[in-house]
Structure 1
Amino acid sequence: MTDVKTSPSRGNGSDLSLSEDLMTGAEAIAEFIFGDASDANRRRVYHASDKLGLPTFKLGGTICARRSTILAWIERQERVI
């Protein structure tokens, strides 16, 4: 019988655990990206997710994202310009 790890691996390319890496809700994502979770910035999160390819996903209908994935996405956007 093999041992099964019960904690998620940190395969996200960072030293963050999954719970530290995961952001739940447009408010948390807006705060991370824009430094402010105003109504306008929460709408910007939904717009960027829908139209600009911001890497998000839904858990139970709630928009979520990983800090490490968003940082990597931003770095890729910087290289395009």
Structure 2
Amino acid sequence: MNIQEAPRGDLLMGADAIADYLGVTRRQVYRLVYDQIIPSFKLGGTVAARKSSLTKWMQELEQAENVH
């Protein structure tokens, strides 16, 4: 998905927004970002992520768990 295809309201700016979306703590977000576990990027020095990318990541985790 490129920037022109991104749905309106898809961007999460800051660890607090990402934490709220994932249902985890701000500290957990920073750990997930640092360990490169979640799809994220820096935007002007602020951690950011797309809801669509996080949703896809979670779906892939669920599918992997269902395979085992």
TM-score, with structure 2 as normaliser: 0.81
Alignment size in residue pairs? 63
Partner Cα distance (1:46, 1:30) in 2 = 9
DSSP-derived class of the 2:35 partner: helix
The structure 2 residue matched to 1:68, chosen from 45, 52, 55, is 52
Root mean square deviation of aligned Cα: 1.6
DSSP-derived class of the 1:71 partner: helix
1:43 aligns with 2:32: no
Correspondence for 1:4: none
Gaps of 5+ in 1: 1-7
Paired-residue identity, %: 37
TM-score, with structure 1 as normaliser: 0.69
Q: Which has the higher contact order (CA 8 A, sep 6+)?
A: 2
Post-superposition CA distance 1:9-44 (Å, at most 9, x none)? 22x4xxx22xx000100000001110x6xxxx0010
Q: How far does residue 78 in structure 1 lie from its aligned partner after superposition?
A: 1.1
Paired letter, 2:46 = T
Q: How far does residue 50 in structure 1 lie from its aligned partner after superposition?
A: 1.9
Q: How does 1:5-16 map to 2 (within 5 A)?
A: 9-10=4-5, 12=6, 16=7
